[in-house]
Amino acid sequence: MKARVAHIASNTFREAVRDRVLYNLIAFAVLLSGAAILVGQISIDIEKLVVINLGLTAVSLFGIVIAIFIGIGLVSKEIDKRTLYTVLSRPVRRWEFIIGKFFGLAGTLVVNTFFMAIGVFSALFYVSHKFVRADALILVALYFIVLEFLIICSLALLFSSFSSPLLSAVFAFSLFVIGSFAEDLRGFAGMAHGFSRWLVTGAAYLVPNFSAFNVISSIAHQQPVAGQLIWHNTLYAFFYAAMALSAAVLIFEHRNLK
């Protein structure tokens, strides 16, 4: 059972890599190096700030885009192209397929982020010529970004299990935007009354809470991150992704494949 999940995961990873996903790293590297060099020349005393802000934001955005576009294809494309038929005619359980796809996609993103992290630290070294202790905070920011990816992957997979690729992309992207303002949504819920209050509160808690993962600006200003927050965020990401995946499994289990 575990072996099959692992095989599906590694196959997904291989497909993604061959699909030239990792080429995005080139675009990223170009962007970051360009910024680092430009900033180094202008020398406006906030080079480090710019590199960290730009670098981390790029890591986040590139990753989200990849997660959405590959994630939505994971199931819908397989159904469309009927590659799924030959997989499911084997002793592979449907849930193993979903879970395997998730790990494959997540793995791709982690590897991608790893290389991007090297890029960010290189650019940082270029502009400030040394590392200080506070730079370790960047690792925390990157860790949070990876947690965000896990959530987005699980959502992309969820939508992909019942919806067309285009709609899935729209849903996933919308949830990303809304999730970035999740705290405001909960604030709105607090101000609403009666039935709509319940509705909005429900929605506010269901939406992925990306605002808590976004520590980029505070880290750029070298504000520390509470250890408790790291722990809580990890648990939250795990629970949320598990929830989305459970839903995906449930839906996929009952789906008639045309």
Partner 1 sequence: MPAIEILGLEKTYLVGFWRKRPKCALSPLRLTVEDGEIFGFLGPNGAGKTTTLKLLMGLVFPTSGSARLLGREWTDPEVKAQIGFLPEQPYFYDHLTAYELLNYYAQLSGVAAKERSRRVESTLQRVGLPDVKGVQLRKFSKGMLQRVGIAQAILHDPRLVFFDEPMSGLDPMGRREVRDLMEQLKHEGKTVFFSTHILSDAEALCDRVAIIHKGELRGIGAVADLTSSVQSKVEVIWRGSQVPASIKALGAECHVTGDTIRAIVDETQQDAAIDALRRERMHLIAITPVRTSLEAYFVEKLRRTETMAGTTV
Partner 2 sequence: MKQRRKVSIVAGACLVIFMAASAVMLHRIDELRPQAALEEVLYLSSPKVLKRASLGYDGLLADIYWTRAVQYFGGRHHAVAKSYNLLYPLLDITTHLDPQLVAAYQFGASFLAPAPPEGAGQPERAIQLMEYGIQNNPNDWKLYYDLGFVYYMNLKDYRKAADAFHRGSEVPNAHPFLRLLAAQMAEHSGEFDTARMMWSATYQSSQEQLIRQNALEHLRALRVDEDVTHLQEAVRRFGERTGRLPANMSELVSSERLPGIPLDPDGHAYRLTPEGRVEVRVPDDFPFATMGLPPGYKPQAKPHSQQ
Partner touching 122 among partner 2, partner 1, none, CB below 5 to 8 Å by kind: none
Of the candidates 154, 149, 123, 151, the one whose C-alpha atom is nearest the C-alpha of residue 138 is 123
Partner touching 229 among partner 1, partner 2, none, CB below 5 to 8 Å by kind: partner 2
d(CA 218, CA 118): 21
d(CA 76, CA 84): 10
Report, in Å, the least distance between residue 232 CB and partner 2.
Answer: 5
Question: Other C-beta atoms within 10 Å of 257: how many?
Answer: 11
Partner touching 233 among partner 1, partner 2, none, CB below 5 to 8 Å by kind: partner 2
Site map (CB under 8 A) of partner 2, residues 151-190, x = contact:
------------------------------x-xx-xxx-x
Report, in Å, the least distance between residue 13 CB and partner 1.
Answer: 12
Question: Other C-beta atoms within 10 Å of 193: how many?
Answer: 6
Report, in Å, the least distance between residue 52 CB and partner 1.
Answer: 35
**The only residue of 86, 254, 256, 258 in contact with partner 2, by rule CB under 8 A:** 254
> Contacts for 239-247 with beta carbons within 8 Å, 24 or more apart?
240/151, 240/154, 240/208, 241/102, 241/150, 241/151, 241/153, 241/154, 242/154, 243/154, 244/151, 244/154, 244/155, 244/157, 244/158, 245/98, 245/99, 245/102, 245/154, 245/157, 245/158, 247/158
Binding site for partner 1 (CB under 8 A): 3-4, 7-8, 11, 14-15, 18-19, 81-93, 254, 256-257
Site map (CB under 8 A) of partner 2, residues 75-94, x = contact:
------------------xx
Interface with partner 2 (CB under 8 A): 93-95, 181, 183-184, 186-188, 190-191, 205-206, 209, 211-212, 217-218, 220-221, 226, 228-229, 232-233, 235-236, 239-240, 242-243, 246-247, 249-250, 253-254
